[in-house]
Structure 1
Amino acid sequence: MNWRLFPILAVTGLAACSSEARIAALRDSAIRLQQARTQAWVNCSAGADCDRLWTLTKKYVAQRSVTPIRRADDTAIETAEPLYVWATRTTDDTGASTIRLKGMCRGMYRADGNPGWLYTSCARQIRAVETDFRAYLGAAS
């Protein structure tokens, strides 16, 4: 065997393993983030109860965001970057509402939509915010 090729083959093998591990970690992170996002909502049926939950949502966003709330009204609550958190409230004709929470980070995605260099750390932060949302509203009930 040509011993000069050994370091090249070793580095190539390590890079392939590293890439596979990185791809697996990104896939796992994306799955866990999607699971958190599917749970980051709550329904309410009475106007007064929905108003109370919306007030708690604003408090939750303020407590969990690293930046202050820049907009808050009857239908949306938004913070600024770098960890952008927003909540929406949609109300139907009966007064029932759905309140949803979502987060995003600057640098989380590249311009082509693929994961960016901050994806893993951002996803971890967002999961924490989105996963605890329903429990917070339930515990505060």
Structure 2
Amino acid sequence: MNGRLLLAFAVVWLGACSTEARVAMQRDTEIQLETARAGAAVSCSARADCDRIWDMTKRYVSQRSVTPIRRADDAVIETAEPHSFGAVYVWAVRTTDPSGLSTISIKGMCRGMYNADGDPGWLYTRCAQQVQAVETDFRAFVGAGA
């Protein structure tokens, strides 16, 4: 009887350790994603520079998204959400403040990364790696450096 109780305790303890490690890993990944997202923006003020960066952004979105661009104008580049899970799709936004400073930013998304309740989904790790790469590589692609 004591052996069974000890085994049950060990299983519960190992499960708790596994859950804690998984939660810590997801927390660290979310921090890395937030850092990548914060760096996935470029500011410009000269119209010609902003137009060049916006054109490069459109090319980047087209190359890094699994779905084609469905809408592109001077303020937004949108791609369709993919039908398949685990595939990254990318959007971009261009805003200009009253002083004339424009900010161009991208956002990578991945179907299956999060559940409907916002918790990590079954493809979280795979998606997070892809989204982070897309967002981290953006500035260098458009010529803004790291």
Structure 1 length normalisation: TM-score? 0.89
Residues 64-86 of structure 1 deviation map (CA, whole Å, 9 limit, x = unaligned): 11221121111111112242310
Deviation for aligned residue 1:17 = 1.2
SS at match of 2:19: helix
CA contact (8 A) 1:65 1:84 kept: yes
Deviation for aligned residue 1:95 = 4.4
For 1:18-97, list aligned pairs within 5 A.
18-82=18-82, 83-93=88-98, 95-97=100-102
CA contact (8 A) 2:112 2:122 kept: yes
- Structure 2 CA distance for partners of 1:2 and 1:73, relative to 1, 3 Å: same
The residue that corresponds to 1:105 in the other structure is 110
The residue that corresponds to 1:119 in the other structure is 124
For 2:121 and 2:66, the matched residues in 1 are separated by 20
Deviation for aligned residue 1:120 = 2.0
The residue that corresponds to 2:135 in the other structure is 130
Q: In percent, how many aligned pairs have the same letter?
A: 68
For 1:123 and 1:80, the matched residues in 2 are separated by 19
Deviation for aligned residue 1:16 = 1.0
Letter in 1 for 2:40: A
CA contact (8 A) 1:47 1:96 kept: no
- Please give the root-mean-square deviation of Cα atoms over the aligned residues, in Å: 1.9
SS at match of 2:3: coil
For 2:90 and 2:135, the matched residues in 1 are separated by 9
For 2:29 and 2:117, the matched residues in 1 are separated by 19
Residues 44-95 of structure 1 deviation map (CA, whole Å, 9 limit, x = unaligned): 1111111110000001111111221121111111112242310001124554
Q: Which runs of 5+ in 1 are unaligned?
A: none
Structure 2 length normalisation: TM-score? 0.86
Q: Which runs of 5+ in 2 are unaligned?
A: 83-87
- Structure 2 CA distance for partners of 1:139 and 1:44, relative to 1, 3 Å: closer
